[in-house]
Amino acid sequence: MGKKVLWLGGLLLCAVAVFMVVTHQGKDVIVTENERKLPGPLAGVTVCVDPGHGGYDGGAVGRDSGELEKAINLQLGKALETALKAQGADVILTREKDIALSDPGAERKRRDLKARVDAAQGADVFLSLHMNEYPDRAQSGPQVFYTADDAQSRLLAGAIQQSMNANLAPMRPRSAHTGDYYVLREQSLPAVLIECGFLSNAEEEQKLLSADYQQLCAQSIVNGLIEYLHLANGA
Ligand SMILES: [Zn+2]
């Protein structure tokens, strides 16, 4: 009898011990949303974001609103910075204010463009942001440009173009295209110039001026960049 009681008592103690271990372990693995810091898909990636124009150089002009391209590029650049950081990227902005990147004087524009190229030192990709315009107001839709014979930039341009077409649903989807731009040509890393839409198209101009649409553009660019990294890494 005595042995049986002892045996049952021992069993009970074991059960309690196991229960305590299990519940303790359970507590240890509970991680709240705030504490969870998973590395984003862009962790370890540095992106140079270049809001085109600035200062004396206004760029294109909104046909109906008179809004300058340089201002919209900067708004989009800041939205893109936030969206990239949310995915774990480090971001270099070539400008955070309404300024040109060169002093007045000879070859001002070329020096401004060179400063944008130089700002990307140490980055992994370069994204130059612009808004298009054209005499024919029917033209619309985003279009991404890359330097000819640059395979990585072509891959990046294609991925961003596809993402923008899918998310922004333009009336007439365009394809990524080669373009001879200083900021791309002189760059030694994957580099694209993104024309987000036409400020000469009445409907698109209104969209490009809205914070919501700029947010959608930014997210489309981020998604395209993530897709590019998958493709480039053969994943
Ligand atoms: Zn421009």
> Ligand 1 mean position to 69 CA, how many Å?
7
| Bridge partners of residue 126, in order along the sequence | 48, 191
| DSSP line for 128-157 | EEEEE--SSTT----EEEE-TT-HHHHHHH
Is it the case that residue 22 has pLDDT exceeding 50?
A: no
pLDDT reported for residue 14: 46
In percent, the amount of the chain with pLDDT more than 70 equals: 83
| Model confidence pLDDT, tens digit, residues 147-201 | 999 999 999 999 999 999 999 999 989 999 999 999 999 999 999 999 999 999 9
> Ligand 1 mean position to 154 CA, how many Å?
20
> Ligand 1 mean position to 234 CA, how many Å?
33
Query: Hey, how many other C-beta atoms are within 10 angstroms of the C-beta on 106?
Result: 6
CA dihedral 132, 134, 139, 142 (to 10 degrees): -10
β-strands 143-146, 191-198: how paired?
A: antiparallel
Q: What is the pTM of this model?
A: 0.84
Total residue count of the chain as it appears in this document: 235
> Ligand 1 mean position to 213 CA, how many Å?
18
> Ligand 1 mean position to 194 CA, how many Å?
9
> Ligand 1 mean position to 160 CA, how many Å?
18
| Model confidence pLDDT, tens digit, residues 31-87 | 555 555 668 999 999 999 999 999 999 999 999 999 999 999 999 999 999 999 999
> Ligand 1 mean position to 86 CA, how many Å?
26
- Token pair, residue 128, equals 């130059």
Give the start-to-end residue ranges of the domains of the chain. Answer: 1-37, 46-232
Q: Would you give the distance in Å from CA 22 to the centre of its chain?
A: 44
What is the average pLDDT across 207-214? 98
Is it the case that residue 19 has pLDDT exceeding 80?
A: no
Nearest to 198 by CA among 33, 46, 59: 59
pLDDT band at 21 (very low <50, low <70, confident <90, very high): very low
> Ligand 1 mean position to 132 CA, how many Å?
7
> Ligand 1 mean position to 210 CA, how many Å?
18
CA atoms of 187 and 108, how far apart (whole Å) = 19
Which whole-number Å values give the CA distances from 35 to 11, 30, 38, 64, in the listed order?
38, 10, 9, 48
> Ligand 1 mean position to 221 CA, how many Å?
17
What is the average pLDDT across 15-26? 47
> Ligand 1 mean position to 55 CA, how many Å?
13
pLDDT band at 208 (very low <50, low <70, confident <90, very high): very high
Average pLDDT across the chain, whole number: 90
pLDDT reported for residue 18: 47
pLDDT band at 234 (very low <50, low <70, confident <90, very high): confident
CA atoms of 228 and 160, how far apart (whole Å) = 8
- The CATH class of 46-232 is alpha beta
